[in-house]
Amino acid sequence: MSLIKNKRNSQKIGLADHNGAAENKTKELTAMEQRQRQRFIDKATKVSGKYLRRLAELPGAPAAIQPFFKVLEDIYVEMKNVERAADTKTVGTYCVMVPHELIYAVGAQPVKLCSGSYTAFAIGDDLVPRDACPLIKAVMGFQAMDVMPVYQDCALMVVPITCDCKKKMAGMLKEMVPTYSLHVPTSKSDDTDMEQYVQELYQLIPELEAVTGQTISYQSLAKSIDEMGFAQYEMSKFNEYKKHVPALIKGTHAMALMNAFSYMPLAQWSQQLHLLNRELARRKKDKQFVSKDKQPRIMVTGSPIIFPNIKIPLLIEETGGILVGDETCMGERSIYDPTVVVDQSFDGLMRSLANRYTRPCTCPTFVDNDQRIYRIKQMIADHQVQGVVYHVLRGCLVYDFEYQTLEDELGKLGIPVIRVESDYNEEDIEQLRIRIEAFIELIKLKDLAERSKK
């Protein structure tokens, strides 16, 4: 595998000397490899640019959402890293169980590295087994190509051991870059599960501290929890606007906003969100809506939807639906649950973090995950959802497992569900379009029938 260039250094790049890793990485590439790399960059930026254009062209984008698009453009098209002070180290995280508060508390910048790139997926396809999920393939592709600064500049990767793919990914990443695997309890009903995660977080701290050289203190941790809390405060206001009927903002735009969260410093993100909220408030006052009265209100749940793989939300909104809610881990879920501090001690803060990142988490990787169904039901009620699109990435077994129960439960409520399986490529886009269009037509007809009954 000539592609896995940085594997060569794996022996040298231990956790201890990852500061020197940057120098070790630069090794002469062959001309072919360089061409390959250039082609990769061209293709990746082209795809990302296309989806950004489609995002921007989707009517109804508020002016205040442009900074979020700009961030996505910077990362995926301009190939820049996160905008931050020059000496700030970045820590790559995956899934939603890594407490960003801890990373901010040691003075580093977290980036969420779960990827949705089609181009990287194509590379990663050769590196991991065929049936592995595309997300892993895309991550491994980026890692192997060694061109994305967001990936390459990471001083440490924190991979929560959630589903099988992530587990094996952690192992593969470890061969290339400093990686820490964070053990997430497999179940959450027992008190001991949460207690165990507290211990895990305590063990994560020294690793993070080694990255920046700063030690965590009560003050820094309290500050970062507060900052995250403020982001969540703005987010909860944004959620209130999202509940408005007719809609004030398109769901695809909202998803772009949540994707931008991965690559923005927290304070900046909440500040931009505040401006967006201000604009939405104005829209609400001026009755400037982005949806019509009869437009079917759709919700997306299931496997993560990560930029630039936003074909499903785009399709929903391009074929006449309005995406009102998303219950995916790259969407609302990643920031929805607040950290509830009940004990003001240092240990109390750690407990509240462990609590916030395990108990309310609706990730299907947990053994017991009934609460996801209740959460979806509540979102259906809150957002007056008329249909649910259940997104399954090929190979994402854990989400596929939960489809059956959800279908049964929502059947009782009379909410139609459609299971949409997709991969990280554009080959299935027409097929998806037909299915989603039909689904939306069905809801429209159902709605019409209900209205005429009245």
- Please report, as ranges, the residues that interact with other proteins according to CB under 8 A: 189-192, 194-195, 199, 202-203, 205-206, 216-220, 222-223, 225-226, 229-230, 232-234, 236, 270-271, 274-275, 337-338, 340-349, 351-352, 355-356, 359-360, 362, 370-371, 374-375, 377-378, 381
> What angle, 0 to 180 degrees and rounded to 10, lies between the N-to-C axes of helices 251-260 and 218-242?
170
Which one, of 445, 362, 440, 443, lies nearest residue 405 by Cα?
Answer: 362
Q: Tell the smallest beta-carbon distance from residue 215 to other proteins (Å).
A: 9
The residue among 375 and 433 lying less far from other proteins, judged by its C-beta, is 375
HSE (CB half, 13 Å, CA atoms) of 82?
Answer: 29
Kindly tell me which of 226 and 423 has the beta carbon lying closer to other proteins: 226
* Residue 109, both tokens: 């910048």
Shortest reach from residue 343's CB to other proteins, in Å: 6
| Closer by beta carbon to other proteins, 337 or else 441 | 337
Residue 394 host element (H or E): none
Residue by residue, DSSP assigns 406-432 as HHHHHHHHT--EEEEEE-SSSTTHHHH
Q: How far is the CB of 341 from other proteins (least distance, A)?
A: 5
In angstroms, the CA 114 to CA 169 distance is 11
Of 113 and 341, the one with the shorter C-beta distance to other proteins is 341
DSSP-derived secondary structure for 203-261? HHHHHHHHHHSPPP-HHHHHHHHHHHHHHHHHHHHHHHHHT-SS-SS-HHHHHHHHHHG
Nearer to other proteins, 114 or 225 (CB): 225
Shortest approach of other proteins to residue 189 CB, angstroms? 7
Closest CB 39 distance from other proteins, rounded Å: 42
* DSSP category for residue 338: P
Task: Compute the distance between CA of residue 32 and CA of residue 431 in angstroms, rounded to an integer.
Answer: 36
Extended beta strands in 35-191, E state = 90-93, 109-112, 154-161, 179-183
**180 Cβ contact list (under 8 Å, min separation 6):** 15, 156, 157, 158, 159, 204, 207
Residues 6+ positions from 156 with CB-CB distance below 8 Å: 15, 18, 89, 91, 92, 178, 179, 180, 207, 208, 211
Please say which residue, 283 or 351, places its beta carbon nearer to other proteins: 351
Helical (H) or strand (E) element with 327: strand 322-327
Give the nearest distance from C-beta 450 to other proteins in angstroms: 22
For residue 363, the minimal CB distance to other proteins (Å) is: 13
The smaller minimum CB distance to other proteins, of residues 138 and 376, is found at 376
CB of 287 to other proteins, least distance (A): 23
Phi then psi for residue 111, to 5 deg, are -130, 140
- CB closer to other proteins, 8 vs 278: 278
Query: Residue 34 or residue 215: which is nearer to other proteins going by CB?
Result: 215
Least separation, in Å, of the C-beta of 324 and other proteins? Answer: 17
